[in-house]
């Protein structure tokens, strides 16, 4: 049976999927095909149920919950850090500002709306946001992925780290991205995929050096800097990626509930979110 796994071409996803890409773990009879696309594209494809397994933003999950369940492994969670709003100069407030965002279904956008509801957003591909800020096309930019580390290289100033704000306000980590599995695959296949996802993450963490050497090829603007690639990967692939933990799952439910209560999320939030709750 062919299973397409769609994920971002960035270093943290490359790190966690390294064992699967290289055939280092038993796929239990499943033929795995990897598809690479940026996160907003994956969010949009998930709305159509395109791929059997896909990385998506948690913000997008309620809109695809009829088709997908969240896998217990493979999540990207910020432990007191997350997407960062950057600008050329200090800003006293973000209210009314024109801010470049990487997509309306990204968790970064949802969290920014929770932080400051009143701003003008402009959707720009995530890898062009820093340039848009530098050129003065926007007042500020919401940076994700490796941009969370590299923005300093361009002389930009941090206005707010949304993961830091979330941790201070709610005392919980900030769930950003997840891997989802299509429910129509059935219990047996979903359980296999749960095992494969967990094993892939555990193997990558155990063979960190080899996985990093592979992941650095996807590090984009970290300029093949192994130390910073390792720092970024460690931020988003760790024990939380193996398993969310009870507080991690609590954080997921809180984030989605707040989004719904504030009118940012228009879809209903399902009672059961994770695949191990359904099967």
Q: What per-residue string of b and e applies to 92-116 under the rule 16 or more CB within 10 Å gives b?
A: eebeebebbbbbbbbbbbbbbbbee
Are the C-beta atoms of residues 97 and 139 closer than 8 Å to each other? Answer: yes
Q: 229 among the known binding-site residues?
A: no
Helices (H), the chain: 11-21, 39-47, 61-64, 107-115, 129-134, 147-150, 162-170, 187-206, 208-215, 226-236, 239-242, 245-261, 275-278
H/E stretch holding 99: strand 98-101
Which residues partner with 140 through β-bridges?
Answer: 99
Residue 70 to residue 84: CA distance in whole angstroms: 25
Q: 50 among the known binding-site residues?
A: no
| Active centre residues (catalytic) | 145
- The residue assigned the tokens 């801010």 is 99
- Provide the token pair at 3: 């299973």
Strands 68-70 and 76-78 turn out to be unpaired
Residue 126 to residue 130: CA distance in whole angstroms: 8
Residue 197 to residue 191: CA distance in whole angstroms: 10
Cβ within 8 Å of residue 11, ≥6 positions away: 146, 215, 216, 218, 219, 220, 222, 229, 232, 233
Are the C-beta atoms of residues 163 and 82 closer than 8 Å to each other? Answer: yes
Known binding site: residues? Answer: 107-108
Known binding site for substrate: residues? Answer: 107-108
């Amino acid at each position: 049976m062919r299973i397409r796994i769609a994920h971002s071409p960035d270093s943290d996803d490359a790190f966690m999927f390294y064992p699967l890409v290289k055939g280092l773990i038993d796929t239990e009879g499943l033929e795995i095909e990897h598809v690479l696309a940026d996160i907003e594209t994956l969010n949009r494809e998930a709305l159509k149920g395109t791929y059997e397994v896909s990385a998506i933003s948690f913000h997008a999950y309620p809109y695809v919950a009829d088709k997908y369940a969240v896998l217990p492994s493979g999540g990207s969670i910020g432990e007191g850090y997350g997407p960062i709003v950057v600008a050329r100069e200090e800003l006293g407030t973000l209210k009314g500002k024109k801010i470049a965002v990487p997509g309306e279904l990204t968790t970064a956008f949802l969290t920014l709306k929770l932080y400051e509801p009143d701003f003008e957003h402009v959707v720009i591909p995530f890898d062009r946001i820093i340039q848009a800020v530098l050129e003065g096309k926007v007042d500020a930019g919401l940076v994700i992925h490796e941009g969370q580390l590299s923005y300093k290289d361009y002389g930009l100033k941090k206005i707010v780290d949304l993961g830091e704000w979330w941790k201070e306000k709610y005392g919980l980590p900030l769930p950003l991205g997840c891997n989802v599995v299509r429910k129509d695959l059935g219990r047996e296949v979903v359980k296999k995929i749960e095992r494969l996802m967990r094993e892939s993450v555990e193997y990558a963490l155990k063979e960190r050096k080899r996985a990093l050497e592979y992941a650095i090829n996807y590090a984009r603007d970290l300029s093949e800097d192994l130390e910073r690639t390792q720092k970024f990967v460690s931020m988003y692939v760790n024990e939380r990626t193996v398993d969310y933990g009870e507080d991690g799952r609590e954080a997921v439910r809180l984030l989605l509930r707040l989004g719904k209560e504030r009118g940012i999320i228009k879809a209903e939030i399902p009672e059961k979110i994770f695949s191990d709750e359904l099967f």
